[in-house]
Structure formats: C-alpha cells, structure tokens
Structure 1
Amino acid sequence: MLPSTICLDIHMAKSTRGHQERLKAIETLLLWEGQVSRPRLSELFDIHGTNLSKDMAAYAELVPGNCCYETGVRAYVLTSDARPQLSEGKFHEYESLVGTMPAEGLRAGVELLTTEQHATAISYRPFSRIHAAIREGKQLSIEYRSLGNPDRHQRTIRPHAFIQAGPRWHLRAYCEGAEAFRDFNLGRISRVLDPKATSLPGPEADIWWNTKIELRLVPHPELTSAQSRLVRDEYMGRAAALVFEAKQAVAKYIVRNYGAATNVSKEHPPQYLLAVDKPETLPPRTFI
C-alpha cells in the first residue's frame, strides 16, 4: 500500500556514474549554476571527495577556457567565454542531473518513455545569474513578458527559489513593482542582468512560501462507488485520499498537475477524476 502522505521535498539518490559522465555533470553544473564545488558534487555522486576534486581538475585541464578556480568561494567558476563542450548546453540535461526529470530509461534493457517534457525556453547564461542571485541573496533586473503585459518590460526582483511544476519552471521572487512576492515563468524571461546587492525582502518575509497547508485530493464526488474505488486504487493505494503537506505557494501547481477540481459544481468527470477535499477550509486565494 502506498503511504497516505507524500512529502514534496525531492531527495535524489546519489550516483556512482563513471568518470566521463561526471565530467559532463561538472560542465552542466558550471553552465547552469555558474560554479561547481566538491560539496555540490558530493550531493549528486557517491564518490570519495578526493576523486571529485580530481574530476574537477581534469575538467579544467580538458576545457581550460570554460572555468577558473576561485579560492574565495573554493569552487570552479564559469568564465564569460564558456561554451558547451561535453554537453549540449540544453536545459533538459540540467533537469535530469538535479533529479527533477526521470533518467533516460530504466536501464537494464528496460525502455522508459515519458511525456513529461520541459516547456521552459531559457539558456544557461541567464539561468546561472538567477541561480547566483538566489545563492547570494541579491536582486536582479529582468526583462519579462506576461499575459497581462505581453510586451517586454523591466522588473526588479529578489528571487529565492525555483519551482518545477510539470513541464514548466517558475521563479519565486519579491517583485519591487508589485511590492509583493510573485511567481515568474522562466520561459517568459528574455534578459537577466548581473545580480546586485539588495534591500528587498527575502524568503523569510514570504508568508505563502513559509505557510504549510494540508492538501487532500479525493475521488470526484460525482463518480460512482465503483469508479471511486478505481481512482483510489490508481492514485492512492486504496487510501481515502492523496495527502500533501505543501507550501501554500505551490499548492496550485499540485492541483494542476493532478488535474483536480477545485469547484465540483463546475468541474465534472471524466475530465476531472480527482477533487480538492474541502477547498473552502484552505487559506483564501490558494489556487490563484
């Protein structure tokens, strides 16, 4: 039986992949995070730290123009002229490495095909600047487009987290113009300037981010008894509900990913097999 409560924190199993794969991983981290260090690699690979240091030194020797070692941060840092050499420089490589996407196949001769492909059009240079701003607690100036304002316009934000929601990635940040915390679709960011020092509020002030709620998904009440049992067996391991302890800020993405109804009087089966249990008891505007 599946557990009735699902934890949303992603814990990636460490890998013992070979030397060449680790070199590619080093390049991927450099491109997308702007730097790579032994502690960061230790989070991904079950390899002795000395060997990881040798891997980084080997990459720096193999592709000398892509990185340089900075003693202040004790890491190899991406250079301004860096280019993909061992990787394609594609976002799906970073997704796969950090554990948010399935690996290519189940290995051992078993094929795996997934429709969970990313829909985030962003390159490694702006992404690494965003990553650095989060890491260093700094603000950014970005060019952004939204449905409300589809023309490119400038926003000043202080980002503090990434949200991977299905095929799309979002950025959780304080927006100076809105004077509030907002989610920004990474695919709608067209330009990112270098991070700067900031006095804008940080993650400790993001109430929705720091508020945990219990989100329960149940079979849609309009299903028959037999249909409800089928849905419980499929989604819940025969438990009464699929239960998430989630940040209020990401609850809407969970609901969208599962295609759950939030208003059962307007959202009906078969399009909606699941429904949010007692949505009226959750904080206002949770699903907006």
Structure 2
Amino acid sequence: MTRRNSAPKERFEAIEILLLWEGRVSRSRLLDLFNIHETLASRDIAGFRAEYPDACEPDSGSKSYVGSWSLRPTLTRGTFDEYQRLIGAIGSLDAVSAGVAVESIQVDATSIRHPLFAQIHRAMRLGRCIRVLYRSMSNPEAHERVIRPHSLIQTGPRWHIRAYCSKAEAFCDLNLGRISAVSASEDAVLPGLDRDVDWHRIVAVRLVPHRDLSAEQARMVREEYMGGTAATVFNVRAPIAKYLIQSFRAAIDPERERAPEHLLMVYQPEELPAVADIRRL
C-alpha cells in the first residue's frame, strides 16, 4: 500500500481505528500508513494519549500501545469500513477527481464488532489458535470451532479469514460476518500458514467470452474485458480462484449457466483444483 500525506486530525483518527480493529498501535504502524517522519509519529501517539488517557496503555513486550478495556469510538464511528479505508482495502470517492459527478455501489456486507476482529487480528499476527462461535450454511446454529487463522481475504462486499479448523480438520475460509464470539485457546496446537499447501499454490484462471455469444458479441466482450485479446488470465492463490470467478460471474458450466446472464466463462475449469470450485462457496 502506498503511504499517503495526512493531517494531524486524520492521524489521530487512524490511531483510534488501529486500537479498535487491530488492538494496538505503534510508531512503525503509523509509518506504514502515512508519509511522515518517525518523530512526528511518536508525537502523534503521545498527543493522542494525552488527549485520551484511558484509550490505551503501553505494552511491555513491544514498542507499542494496546487498546484498554474502556476503549470506545470517540473520533470515529467504529465501523469496519473505516478500517478498510485506512488500510487501503477500499478507495474513497473523496480521492476521485474525474471532473464529473461520480457515484459507486461498492458496499460492505461484513458485520463484525471491533473487539472480535482485534482478537482475530492478534491471533493471525502471533500465529495463535482461538475459539470462535461460528455459523455456516450447513450448520446455521452458532457452534464452537477451534481455529488457527493466518490471512484475511476480501471478496467483494464480504471478508473471510483463511484458517485451519479443528472441526473440518482442514484449512478453510470462514466468513467474518458469521463469527459472533472469540476467545483464546492457548492449549490448542493446529497447523499454521506453512502447512497450507493450497494457499501456496498459484493457479491460472483463464476467462474467455461465453460460447453462446455471437461473433459480434464475443468481439465486444473481448474488447471490454480483455483488451481485444482472446482471453484474460489471472494468476491467483488456489483458494482465491473461486472468489475471482464469482466476481466476474464467469460460467463454470456453460450448459447450465447461459448467456447473457453470464458473459464470460472459465476456460478448461476441470484443470482447476477442487479448492477453486465456486460451487463450494
């Protein structure tokens, strides 16, 4: 992510957002986000602590400050989209300069509270296991799972975490919006990122015009999506492929998924690994 210039007010808001959603803030984290000198980053944190002394406390084990139990949104609304904008996961229309009116239908459908996310973020950062209350389409009642999360996945309006799950006895993707409680699981020992073979596997997803399109329609689609070439190819992690295919509404089974509802289709989907199957979403 490109560091950006900022005003003091924006950096104070960023400090609060980081404390809420990541559970901690440090000089180095501010330097990741903003194009400022380290002296100014230290001054910002000191100024924030002076203004809001109950918001955070020093972490003796690192050069950072952790959110206190009494931390509440004061400068911000405490919503997940604020965190997304801060880390650059979604753009802001305020930064768009098109010379004409611009509107966007980009929305966020992830409903999760910052205390839960902060615990998940900490577990990923430290490589630890946690217990979560989770709901799924196959089991919509809240049930406990012990997981070891390692990565965040943004999939359009939703967010997932990639984790090893003791219940599934495998690595899988869990919808952040379906987690209702998080607690530590210090005694659990589960595989981590280095054991997630599918995550480290890069696959090529090749999208082509749907075979039902006329020659003229196919040429238009190639110009729109592929710069006039025969196909567009994305090299992505194997578990990410299904989300990419879904975002383009590309047909996996062109006999059943017909045009014009589907303008694109996946070329030779049978060559993709099972973890990339969109029907497993």
Tell me the distance in 1 between the aligned counterparts of 2:226 and 2:140.
40
**Structure 1 residues 203-228: Cα deviation after superposition (integer angstroms, max 9, x where no partner):** 11111111110111111121112211
Tell me the distance in 2 between the aligned counterparts of 1:224 and 1:36.
56
Q: How far did residue 110 of structure 1 move?
A: 5.3
Is contact 1:36-1:75 (8 Å) kept?
yes
What's the secondary structure of 2:260's corresponding residue? coil
What's the secondary structure of 1:53's corresponding residue? helix
Q: How far did residue 285 of structure 1 move?
A: 4.4
Tell me the distance in 1 between the aligned counterparts of 2:200 and 2:227.
30
Is contact 2:239-2:275 (8 Å) kept?
no
Taking structure 1 as the reference length, the TM-score comes to 0.92
Of the candidates 75, 83, 92, which is equivalent to residue 86 of structure 1? 75
Out of 218-227 and 134-143, give the one that drifted further: 218-227
User: Which residue does 2:87 correspond to in 1?
Assistant: 98
User: Which residue does 2:215 correspond to in 1?
Assistant: 225
Letter in 1 for 2:139: N
Q: How far did residue 240 of structure 1 move?
A: 2.4
Q: How far did residue 57 of structure 1 move?
A: 1.2
Taking structure 2 as the reference length, the TM-score comes to 0.94
Is contact 2:238-2:275 (8 Å) kept?
no
**Residues 217, 44 of structure 1: CA spacing in aligned structure 2 closer, same or farther, 3 A cutoff?**
same
Q: What is the aligned-residue RMSD (CA, Å)?
A: 1.5
Asked whether 1:175 is paired with 2:165, we answer: yes
**Residues 199, 18 of structure 1: CA spacing in aligned structure 2 closer, same or farther, 3 A cutoff?**
same
Out of 276-285 and 81-90, give the one that drifted further: 276-285
Tell me the distance in 2 between the aligned counterparts of 1:106 and 1:224.
40
User: Percent of pairs identical after alignment?
Assistant: 44
User: Which residue does 1:16 correspond to in 2?
Assistant: 5
Out of 167-176 and 112-121, give the one that drifted further: 112-121
Is contact 1:219-1:231 (8 Å) kept?
yes
Q: How far did residue 102 of structure 1 move?
A: 1.4
What's the secondary structure of 1:246's corresponding residue? strand
User: Which residue does 1:30 correspond to in 2?
Assistant: 19
Aligned length: 277
Q: How far did residue 111 of structure 1 move?
A: 4.2
Tell me the distance in 1 between the aligned counterparts of 2:163 and 2:218.
39
**Residues 111, 40 of structure 1: CA spacing in aligned structure 2 closer, same or farther, 3 A cutoff?**
farther
**Structure 1 residues 220-268: Cα deviation after superposition (integer angstroms, max 9, x where no partner):** 1211122112112222222322211100011000011111111111111
Q: How far did residue 125 of structure 1 move?
A: 0.2
What's the secondary structure of 1:143's corresponding residue? strand
Relative CO higher for 1 or 2, CA cutoff 8 Å, sep ≥ 6?
Answer: 1
Of the candidates 127, 130, 134, which is equivalent to residue 140 of structure 1? 130
User: Which residue does 1:73 correspond to in 2?
Assistant: 62
Give the unaligned 5+ runs of structure 1.
Answer: 1-11
Tell me the distance in 2 between the aligned counterparts of 1:180 and 1:86.
41
Asked whether 1:115 is paired with 2:105, we answer: yes
The within-5 A match list for 1:132-211 is: 132-194=122-184, 196=186, 198-211=188-201
User: Which residue does 1:58 correspond to in 2?
Assistant: 47
Tell me the distance in 2 between the aligned counterparts of 1:196 and 1:246.
33
Tell me the distance in 2 between the aligned counterparts of 1:51 and 1:135.
26
**Residues 24, 285 of structure 1: CA spacing in aligned structure 2 closer, same or farther, 3 A cutoff?**
closer
Is contact 1:38-1:75 (8 Å) kept?
yes
Tell me the distance in 1 between the aligned counterparts of 2:59 and 2:108.
33
Is contact 2:207-2:264 (8 Å) kept?
yes
